[in-house]
């Protein structure tokens, strides 16, 4: 492999594990400049990227590089322009490949990405209900389901679906002001409006909207000011018959630290969930995406990929990219054997293996706690239950031994771990909400 192929292989693996947005932010315009004496030099466009790659992705990058070329023991990042003579080499990837960072123009007025439309959204039993609701809303904004609340795990199409509603309304109702906002953005707008004393302008701007789409609303959990602003905005828009569309990784009742008054607003309209796609739909999605990218692979290849990648549509897309990269570099289509080897590494790569750390992280996140709080001896009610849940999951999902579980939680002894495990097991039988919570946590553990 030359440097370019090496780096493309690294990018292909990384792309499977992070969001497209993160991927293009941190990996756009990067390349391996040289690979000598065990050290790979990675060229990056600026100091932000350098710092991020160094701090956040270095272990991951090094591991992949080392797997590909065991001589590589170290990675160094440096800022610079691509040397001119390397430009010609860049053309190895065709335009249709996502790794070429096919930039879609985000609509400035609506903040919508034009690639998210109903026409490219595959419908199956797993998303039929939310899809039908989305279509209904796009035909009669503000009149049928308000708010429309779509929830489901990572990479299952929430953003695609809610943006499709926006694009459809924008196309058919020219006068309506549609606005898509990720919740993190909304939150930071509230914070800066307060800081800069521009809250009136902020309110004014949002109150003019006819269709407000707020993505990943679980992020406003625990953010009181944001919730307060959103509550007032919600009421104003709702009373004026404006459409509100929300997405979240869990249903309203499972969003902890969400003000009760907001929760009841969220529950006041239509709630629809997207579950994981079945095998047929996964195959259909692969074929649709392949068609969009004007490539085609054998039926057995689609079957194989859809059989191994089960719960995340973003990963299905990543798999397709990987096949395309292979095809482009080698000028031939991968057969089943090659496909299996292409995916062997990924399927057994370390971030597919669920670690105790990951379980603890997800549980802490889910209950809005810090990891270290979860691991202390605190007897506070808000901590005791999540800690028991974490112990339960370590036992149930990772088959960790009770003494080892106890040790992870400030050296508690094994009887505590056994007690927690049994307690959760028993409570789940009678408490539907807890059962559902644990289901959602498991989904997060296995799909994120
Ligand atoms: P989420 O917001 O739930 O994490 P996204 O909407 O970002 O998921 O979807 C991840 C990727 O999968 C996107 O590229 C999207 O286009 C694609 N995708 C998801 N669901 C479908 C679907 N039903 N049909 C076609 N593509 C889909
Ligand atoms: Mg999303």
For 189-223, write each residue's pLDDT tens digit.
999 999 999 999 999 999 999 999 999 999 998 89
Mean pLDDT score of the chain, rounded to an integer? 87
pLDDT at residue 174 greater than cutoff 60: yes
For residue 122, the ligand 1 atom closest to its alpha carbon is 24
Asked if residues 274 and 152 have their Cβ atoms less than 8 Å apart, the reply is: yes
Query: Which residues lie at CB < 5 A from ion ligand 2?
Result: 158-159
More confident residue, 332 or 25: 332
**Which pLDDT score is estimated for 302?**
96
**Which residue puts its alpha carbon closest to atom 23 of ligand 1?**
122
Q: CA separation (Å) from 428 to 181, 389, 406, 417? A: 36, 10, 21, 17
pLDDT band at 352 (very low <50, low <70, confident <90, very high): low
Question: How close is the Cα of 207 to the center of ligand 2, in Å?
Answer: 24
For residue 116, the ligand 1 atom closest to its alpha carbon is 16
Q: CA separation (Å) from 393 to 10, 49, 147, 255, 443? A: 32, 36, 34, 20, 12
CA dist., res. 86 & res. 100, Å (int): 16
**Which residue puts its alpha carbon closest to atom 9 of ligand 1?**
157
pLDDT at residue 86 greater than cutoff 50: no
More confident residue, 52 or 387: 387
pLDDT at residue 93 greater than cutoff 80: no
Ligand 1 neighbour 276 (Cβ under 6 A): no
More confident residue, 87 or 424: 424
Question: How close is the Cα of 208 to the center of ligand 2, in Å?
Answer: 25
**Which pLDDT score is estimated for 400?**
85
Q: Of 45-49, 114-118, 307-311, 318-322, give the lowest mean pLDDT range.
A: 45-49
**Which pLDDT score is estimated for 97?**
31
Q: What is the DSSP letter of 376?
A: S
Ligand 1 neighbour 157 (Cβ under 6 A): yes
Among the bound ligands, name the one nearest to the CA of residue 128: 1
Ligand 1 neighbour 317 (Cβ under 6 A): yes
More confident residue, 430 or 351: 430
**Which pLDDT score is estimated for 96?**
30
pLDDT band at 346 (very low <50, low <70, confident <90, very high): low
pLDDT at residue 226 greater than cutoff 90: yes
Summarize the confidence of residues 275-294 as an average pLDDT: 91
For residue 154, the ligand 1 atom closest to its alpha carbon is 4
Asked if residues 89 and 7 have their Cβ atoms less than 8 Å apart, the reply is: no
Asked if residues 368 and 221 have their Cβ atoms less than 8 Å apart, the reply is: yes
Question: How close is the Cα of 157 to the center of ligand 1, in Å?
Answer: 3
């Amino acid at each position: 492999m030359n440097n370019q192929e090496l780096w493309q292989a690294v990018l292909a693996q990384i792309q499977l594990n992070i969001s497209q947005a993160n991927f293009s932010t941190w990996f756009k315009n990067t390349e391996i400049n040289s690979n000598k004496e065990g050290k790979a030099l990675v060229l990056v466009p600026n100091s932000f990227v350098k710092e991020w790659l160094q701090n956040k992705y270095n272990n991951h990058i090094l591991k992949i590089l080392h797997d590909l070329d065991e001589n590589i023991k170290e990675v160094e990042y440096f800022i610079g322009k691509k040397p001119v003579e390397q430009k010609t080499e860049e053309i190895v990837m065709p335009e249709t490949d996502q790794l070429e960072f096919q930039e879609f123009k985000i609509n400035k007025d609506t903040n919508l990405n034009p690639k998210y439309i109903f026409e490219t959204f595959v419908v199956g039993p797993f998303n039929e209900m939310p899809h039908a609701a989305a279509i209904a809303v796009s035909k009669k904004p503000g009149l049928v389901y308000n708010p429309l609340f779509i929830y489901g795990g990572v990479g299952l199409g929430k953003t695609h679906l809610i943006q499709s509603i926006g694009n459809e309304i924008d196309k058919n109702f020219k006068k309506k002001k549609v606005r898509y906002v990720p919740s993190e953005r909304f939150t930071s707008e509230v914070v800066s409006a307060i800081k800069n004393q521009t809250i009136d302008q902020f309110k004014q701007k949002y109150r003019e909207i006819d269709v407000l789409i707020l993505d990943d609303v679980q992020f406003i959990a625990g953010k009181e000011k944001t919730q307060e602003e959103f509550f007032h905005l919600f009421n104003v828009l709702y009373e004026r018959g404006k459409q509100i569309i929300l997405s979240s990784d869990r249903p309203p009742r499972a969003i902890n630290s969400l003000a009760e008054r907001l929760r009841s607003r969220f529950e006041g309209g239509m709630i629809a969930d997207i579950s994981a796609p079945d095998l047929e739909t996964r195959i259909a999605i692969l074929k649709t995406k392949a068609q969009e990218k004007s490539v085609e692979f054998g039926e057995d290849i689609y079957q194989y990929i859809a059989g191994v990648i089960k719960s995340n549509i973003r990963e299905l897309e990543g798999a397709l990219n990987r096949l395309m990269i292979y095809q482009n570099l080698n000028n031939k289509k991968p057969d089943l054997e090659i496909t299996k080897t292409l995916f062997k590494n990924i399927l057994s790569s370390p971030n597919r293996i669920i670690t105790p750390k990951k379980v603890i992280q997800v549980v802490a996140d889910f209950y809005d706690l810090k990891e270290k709080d979860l691991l202390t001896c605190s007897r506070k009610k808000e901590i005791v239950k999540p800690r028991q849940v974490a112990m339960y999951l370590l036992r149930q999902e990772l088959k960790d031994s009770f003494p080892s579980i106890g040790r992870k939680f400030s050296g508690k002894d094994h009887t505590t771990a056994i007690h927690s495990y049994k307690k959760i097991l028993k409570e789940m039988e009678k408490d539907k909400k807890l059962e559902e919570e644990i289901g959602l946590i498991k989904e997060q553990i296995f799909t994120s």
